[in-house]
């Protein structure tokens, strides 16, 4: 089913896990995301064994914290990434990762469908933008997310297409402002 | 609170990607608790991280991986809903979690010129401390070997033509000379993280540097 499941559908599967502890929905999420998380962690320097264990941890966290997922704020891929990143910092760097305060609002029971759609499309569109970049730039961005670049290395890379990425910021900001008003 | 100074894109990306030492993460997590603009910038780069995962190479899972994960889930304790750190008075939650008190309860140590500090315990790679600069007092002129982040928690400081108030963050890159001066009518409390010792220009602070740990 992987090929024709869109980002919006991944969010629907998380909602099924959240509301009904739906194991079939979870299995579909697991088949798609667990191998990607494992690959991501191996690129970040984890051994296959550690990456396997951490990928299982990440997916277990996704089940456990399904009630915290807000489909109007982030795509499932983005949420999975943040969980995997935190697990990596914990397992490979053995450091704490202080988190910002929770926003004063949590996930809404009936989120605006247009907002959910926009948020869920974000990773897909950024993925397409990433694929269109020259290889050197794409590799640099990937390395940054594998935890392989320092801030000064990122700052020194004037060729990084942060402007392209920045044009996406408007969306995220507009969504926040909508919530704040 | 009108926040004018946000984190630059390179820092938003490094934070979203998980590339920074703990002390910088602490300053940024505290700043994001005060600035929705910076929070949105970081969210955008986290979405890029989602794209990196989505388009990245998948690795073959071990046999029985899903079953092992379900067993893990069955063994999890009930969700700790109340575990999120809480804001403590005027101190945002991530910082309160490190300091363990509000600003009035901080255990300050004098470091000269009326300036007081409290060093926070963080992991390797960079140090974090609270600084209290008396009203009207200038920090000694200093340059940087590395990166320094200064987040205003209370009061304000001026640096050249720029004013930094609560929630504002100043990013000092290697090589930058700057002289923050606390505004005349109120003490300024900042959270500062740095990945290198500061280089003071005048002799006395330089001699005192090993004792100050700044």
What end-to-end distance do the CA atoms of chain B give, in Å? 29
Nearest-CA distance from B168 to chain A in Å? 15
Mean local confidence (pLDDT), B112-134 = 90
How does pLDDT run across B61-116, given as a tens digit for each residue?
A: 999 999 999 999 999 887 665 556 677 777 899 999 999 888 888 999 988 888 89
Query: Inter-chain contact A165–B45, Cβ cutoff 8 Å?
Result: yes
Top pLDDT among A55 and A122 is at A55
In a mutational test of the B interface, the residue from A144, A150, A152, A159 whose CB has the highest number of chain B CBs within 10 Å is A144
Q: Beta strand B148-154 with B188-194: parallel, antiparallel or unpaired?
A: antiparallel
Query: Inter-chain contact B40–A145, Cβ cutoff 8 Å?
Result: no
The pLDDT of residue A2: 47
Could you give the CA distance from residue A110 to residue A162 in angstroms, rounded to a whole number? 34
ipTM: 0.88
Q: How confident is the model at residue A1 (pLDDT cuts 50, 70, 90)?
A: very low
Nearest to A75 among B50, B58, B62 (CB): B50
Q: CB within 8 A of A22, min separation 6: which ones?
A: A13, A16
Cβ atoms of A158 and B23 within 8 Å: the answer is no
The pLDDT of residue B176: 76
Say if pTM beats, i.e. exceeds, 0.80: yes
Residue in chain A closest to B69 (alpha carbons) equals: A56
* pLDDT higher than 90, residue B167: yes
Q: Residues of B with CB below 8 A from A144's CB? A: 13-14, 17, 19
- Residue B10's Cβ-count burial label (10 Å; 0-12, 13-18, 19+) is buried
In a mutational test of the A interface, the residue from B3, B12, B14, B17 whose CB has the highest number of chain A CBs within 10 Å is B17
Rounded to 10 degrees, the C-alpha dihedral B203/B205/B209/B214 comes to -140
Per-residue CA distances from A44 to A37, A51, A92, A138 (Å): 10, 9, 9, 16
A70-74, B124-128, B175-179: the lowest-pLDDT one: B175-179
- Angle, alpha carbons A140-A144-A148 (nearest 5°): 105
Cβ atoms of A95 and A89 within 8 Å: the answer is yes
Top pLDDT among A155 and B133 is at B133
């Amino acid at each position: 089913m992987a090929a024709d499941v869109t980002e919006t559908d991944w969010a629907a599967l998380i909602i099924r896990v959240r509301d009904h502890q739906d194991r079939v929905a979870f299995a579909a999420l697991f088949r798609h995301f667990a191998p990607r998380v494992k690959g991501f962690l191996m690129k970040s320097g984890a051994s296959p064994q550690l990456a396997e264990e951490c990928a299982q941890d990440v997916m277990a966290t996704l089940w456990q914290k399904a009630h915290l997922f807000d489909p109007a704020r982030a795509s499932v891929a983005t949420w999975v990434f943040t969980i995997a990143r935190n697990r990596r910092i914990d397992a490979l760097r053995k450091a704490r990762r202080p988190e910002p305060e929770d926003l004063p609002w949590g996930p809404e029971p009936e989120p605006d469908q247009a907002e959910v759609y926009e948020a869920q499309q974000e990773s897909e569109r950024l993925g397409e933008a990433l694929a269109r970049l020259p290889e050197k730039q794409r590799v640099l961005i990937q390395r940054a997310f594998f935890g392989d670049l320092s801030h000064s290395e990122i700052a020194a890379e004037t060729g990084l297409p942060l402007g392209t990425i920045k044009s996406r910021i408007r969306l995220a900001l507009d969504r926040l402002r909508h919530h704040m008003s | 609170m009108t926040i004018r100074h946000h984190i630059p894109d390179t820092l938003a990306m490094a934070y979203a990607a998980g590339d920074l030492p703990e002390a910088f993460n602490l300053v940024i997590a505290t700043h994001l608790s005060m600035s929705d603009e910076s929070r949105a910038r970081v969210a955008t780069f986290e979405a890029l991280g989602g794209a990196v995962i989505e388009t990245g190479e998948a690795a073959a899972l071990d046999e029985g991986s899903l079953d092992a994960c379900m067993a893990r889930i069955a063994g999890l304790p009930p969700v700790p809903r109340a575990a999120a750190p809480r804001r403590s008075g005027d101190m945002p939650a991530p910082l309160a979690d490190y300091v363990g008190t509000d600003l009035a309860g901080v255990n300050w140590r004098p470091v000269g010129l009326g300036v007081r500090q409290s060093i926070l315990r963080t992991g390797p790679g960079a140090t974090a401390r609270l600084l209290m600069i008396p009203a009207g007092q200038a920090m000694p002129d200093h340059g940087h070997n590395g990166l320094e982040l200064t987040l205003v928690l209370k009061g304000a400081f001026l640096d050249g033509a720029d004013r930094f108030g609560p929630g504002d963050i100043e990013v000092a890159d290697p090589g930058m000379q700057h002289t923050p001066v606390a505004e005349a009518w109120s003490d300024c409390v900042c959270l500062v993280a740095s990945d290198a010792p500061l280089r003071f220009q005048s002799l006395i602070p330089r001699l005192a540097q090993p004792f100050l740990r700044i």
